[in-house]
Amino acid sequence: MSLLNLKDITKIYGARKALDGFSLKVMEGERVALLGPSGCGKTTALRLLAGFEAPDRGQVEIAGVPAAAEGRILVLPEARLLGMVFQDLALWPHFTVRGNLEFGLKAKGVPAKERKARIREMLERVELLEYAAAKPAALSGGQQQRVALARALVMRPRALLMDEPLSSLDVDLNRRLREEILRLHQEFQFALLYVTHDRGEASALAERVVLMKLGQVEMEGTPDQVRAYLEGQSDYRGHW
Amino acid sequence: MGKQGALRVVFALWTLNALLPVLAMIERSLTPGGHLSFSAYGRLFFWGREWNLLESSLGLALATAVVTGILGLALSLLLARTDIPGRGILSVLFVLPLLLPPTILAYGWSALLERDGLLGKIWGPSGTAFLFSSRGGVLVLAASFLPLILLFTMTSLLSANPRLEEAARLSAKAPRILFAITIPQSAPALLTGCLLVFCLVLGETGAPTFLRVNVFAVESLAQFSAFYDFSSATAAAMPLLLITLLAFWGLHRLRAHRAAALQPVPTGTGLRRIRLGQLRPWFFLPVILLWTALAGLPLLALLIRSLEPAAFAEALTRGGASFGRSLLYAGLGATLVLFFGFLAGYGRADGTLGYGAEAIPLFLFALPGSVLGIGLISLWNRPATGSIYGSPMILLLGLLAQYMVLGVWVTRSALTFIPRSMEEAAAMAGASSISRLTRITIPLASKGLVASWLLAFLFCLRDTGLAMVVYPPGRETLPVRLFTLMANGKPALISALCILILLSAAVPFGALALLFAKSRS
């Protein structure tokens, strides 16, 4: 059974169709990249899965349970047990690093002792334990990325949704964080849905790549298959 | 001189205009007989009465700031972040009292509660006993200054980064998100608003005088206008100056800590409104009742009182010249604010000017108008500068000093939406810095500039504290004329003048509201 399932989704903003009969399945523990140019509907797909938006047509299922359909949200975001790393990270500036990790655990009623242990463990994993009392603004870009990852993973989500979180980083930091994401995936075995417009990032992180165009799936396959496909498409050459 | 140099010179000129009066006032208070002496301070603070007045003023200011803070936060959340019906109209209605000097609302309340008034018939003398007390003062001043809190907090709530709340929605329910994420994000704006209300109430003279609430701000005015004791007047203005400075130092420390971390996104798109569902009417009802109680009823009472035959004709005869002057001075003042405020805001936005370009104008905005007025007289009432002292120029310089912050704020806000690359592209095309400013930035920010002028016009039009002290003989503005007539003028005439002020402010306010609605849509 698939963990994340978008079934024949249409989502319209004003006069623009962001998704047009779009379908996608992600299995438990699988690493999938949504690849495509700006405005092709990648982020919309992610926001539908997170529960921030409802589809105009079609159905969203999480672990086989209908979560949203036909303009209605049936399962609220906090009940979907998903984690998300935003493009701008969305770290809460008035909380410390520890506070950012603790907020969700408190909301879920995790006992104080367990909270403390889980936060410590997660900060150790991302090598930020010594920055636990720091505010996000005091950290470097790479450290902020790791806090955002840690904040999502400390909730032990079934799937992690990532919306181009590495797009603003330099090449070296981008590579190191990709390795870190893979290491954490190996360790926690969450399903990963990674949105990007960068073919290199998609190839490095995903075992399956879904290529999108104008709100629809253009093709999907292994990174090698998608690369071969793109190389045969003259209009894609040089873009990614 | 390059662009950066020109911007610095313009801001330096404004700073001189704004701060020299304050320095001149300090100098006058310390040299009562032409030589250094603390006698003015000794005379003033020797008696316990001054301390009691200061205590009363601080109590009034604090109570008003707390009441407006609590009401303002609740209302801002309802109007900015829920789907309460009629939120656009409600926002406009709640901002309406900002157009009027607090004295007018106080007068409206007295019309409402007098023996023959709408509520006076029901409550009898207990109503007027309440109004003419400190509690009545808090009510009137809270109604007058609540719009300031709303403007600050609603803007902050509407421009907050929606992703911060979305990140919280993955693990928490709405009430927890409201208290842990949404409100803390807007806390600096709320605190700034409360602090401004505190300072403005501290310096308010008109409404407390009318309501017979003894406050310290009246003291320096009395020393100046009743006793002609200029040294004591300047000395009496000092505590208010020091308290305002202290308050701003506190705010600076607080904001410096938080502002570095809080970076709202300019678009403000994607903010989710809390759905009130079937409770919508139950939220709407108390909100509209609150507005009716705070502003609707007193304005209605004024309107009813003004409907006597010939009241408006007499108002125009006796106040027509003041009305014309008010419009003229407000127009000129707003134009000065627009020019200096735009350049300071532009310099602040591109990093040429530092934090001072916002902090000093904000300090001047919070400084009681009467204190600034006494400072202006200290500076300009000299043989060499008599032509400025004896002309409307002194009032215009005061309006520029007091309200420039409005121009800075609106400019910065407007420039947020213009990518820096617009000017950079023009630079690559070979445009000079003046050409880039006049042909790229100003046209792109034109709506913001119009809004800035309208906002400054409204504040200049309602100004009473400054105008009361510095108006040249025989050239008083309408709010000053109104205040003097309140002592013994006919109720119908005074009410008609109040309505006249309201109407003259309503036109630019309507234009401002339309502009805002258009830019949001």
According to the model, what pLDDT value does residue B90 have? 92
pLDDT (0 to 100) of residue B257: 47
Task: Please give the structure tokens belonging to residue A57.
Answer: 């047509």
* Chains A–B, number of C-beta pairs less than 8 Å apart: 72
B257 → chain A, closest CA residue: A94
Q: In this complex, which of B161, B172, B265 lies closest to A104 when CB atoms are compared? A: B172
Q: What are phi and psi of B240, to 5 degrees?
A: -65, -40
Q: Tokens 């509201």: give the residue.
A: B513
Closest partner residue to A82 among B170, B180, B265, by Cβ?
B170
pLDDT of residue A234: 64
Spans of all domains in chain A: 92-152
pLDDT digits (tens, 9 = 90+) for B305-335: 888 878 888 888 888 888 899 999 999 999 9
CB distance A165 to A153 below 8 Å: no
Q: Check residue B519 and give its pLDDT.
A: 64
Tell me the nearest-neighbour CA distance from A240 into chain B, angstroms.
Answer: 24
Whole-Å CA distances, A183 to A190, B307, B467: 11, 79, 70
Return per-residue pLDDT of chain B as tens, 521 residues. Answer: 677 888 999 999 999 999 999 888 888 888 877 777 777 777 666 767 778 888 899 999 999 999 999 999 999 999 998 999 998 899 989 988 888 889 999 999 988 888 777 888 888 788 888 889 999 999 999 999 999 899 889 888 888 888 898 899 988 988 899 899 989 988 888 988 898 899 889 888 888 988 988 888 887 777 777 776 777 777 888 888 888 888 888 877 766 545 433 344 444 446 778 888 888 999 999 999 999 999 999 999 889 888 887 888 888 888 888 889 999 999 999 999 999 999 999 998 888 898 888 888 988 888 888 888 888 988 898 888 888 888 899 999 999 999 999 899 888 888 877 877 777 777 767 777 787 888 888 888 888 888 888 889 989 998 988 998 888 888 889 888 888 888 778 888 888 888 888 888 888 888 877 877 766 55
Residue B164, both tokens: 């911060």
**Which pair of structure tokens corresponds to residue B476?**
């008083």
CA-wise closest residue to B148 among B75, B62, B41: B75
Tokens of A8: 């024949």
Cβ-based interface (< 8 Å): residues of A facing B: 50-52, 76-78, 80, 82-84, 86, 88, 90-94, 103-105, 107-108, 135-137, 151-152, 155
Nearest-Cα residue of chain B relative to residue A139: B261
Query: How many residues can be counted in chain B?
Result: 521
pTM of the predicted protein model: 0.79
Helix (H, G, I), strand (E, B) or coil at A53: coil
Q: What was the pLDDT predicted at B79?
A: 93
Instruction: Report CB contact under 8 Å: A90, B166.
Output: yes
pLDDT given at position A238? 44
Rounded distance between C-alpha atoms, residue B475 and residue A103, angstroms: 61
Report pLDDT for B358. Answer: 85
**CB atoms near residue A239 (< 10 Å):** 10
Beta pairing, strands A82-85 & A72-73: unpaired
Q: Which of residues 148-207 of B touch A (CB under 8 A)?
A: 161, 163-164, 166-173, 176, 180-181, 184-185, 187
Question: Residue B423 belongs to what H/E stretch?
Answer: helix B420-428
Interface contact flag, A90 B161, Cβ < 8 Å: yes
Centroid of chain to Cα B39: 34
Kindly list the residues from chain B whose CB atom is less than 8 angstroms away from the CB atom of residue A51: 169
Question: Distance (Å, rounded) from C-alpha B260 to C-alpha B268?
Answer: 19
CA distances from A106 to A81, A93, A113, B223 (A): 15, 18, 11, 59
The answer to whether the Cβ–Cβ distance between A94 and B161 falls below 8 Å is no
Give chain B's end-to-end CA distance (angstroms, integer). 41
* DSSP labels, A26-84: EETT-EEEEE--TTSSHHHHHHHHHTSS--SEEEEEETTEEEEETTEESS-GGGS-EEE
Contact B172 A107 (CB under 8 A): yes
Residue A236 — pLDDT band, cuts 50, 70, 90? low
The average pLDDT across A111-135 equals: 93
Mean of the pLDDT values across residues A196-215? 92
**Is there a contact between A108 and B163 if contact means CB atoms under 8 Å apart?**
no
Residue A33 is encoded by which pair of tokens?
């990249």
Span A90-110, average pLDDT: 90
Nearest by CB to B181, which of A92, A105, A135?
Answer: A92
CB distance B282 to A156 below 8 Å? no
Per-residue pLDDT of A22-42, as tens digits, reads 999 999 999 999 999 888 999
**Which amino acid would we find at residue B376?**
L
Is the Cβ of B485 closer than 8 Å to some Cβ of chain A? no
Contact between A78 and A107 (Cβ < 8 Å): yes
Which of B156, B165, B170, B257 to mutate to test binding with chain A, by most A CBs within 10 Å of its CB? B170
Angle at B181 between CA B176 and CA B182, to 5 degrees: 100
Structure confidence at residue A240 (pLDDT): 47
| CA B201 – CA B138 distance, rounded (Å) | 9
- State the smallest CA–CA distance between residue B183 and chain A in angstroms: 11
Percent of chain A with pLDDT over 90: 63
Predicted local distance difference test score (pLDDT) of residue B313? 87
Q: Read off the pLDDT band of A7 (50, 70, 90).
A: very high
Helix axes B491-520, B87-95, angle to 10 degrees: 140
Q: How confident is the model at residue A9 (pLDDT cuts 50, 70, 90)?
A: very high
What is the Rg, in whole angstroms, of the alpha carbon atoms belonging to chain B? 23
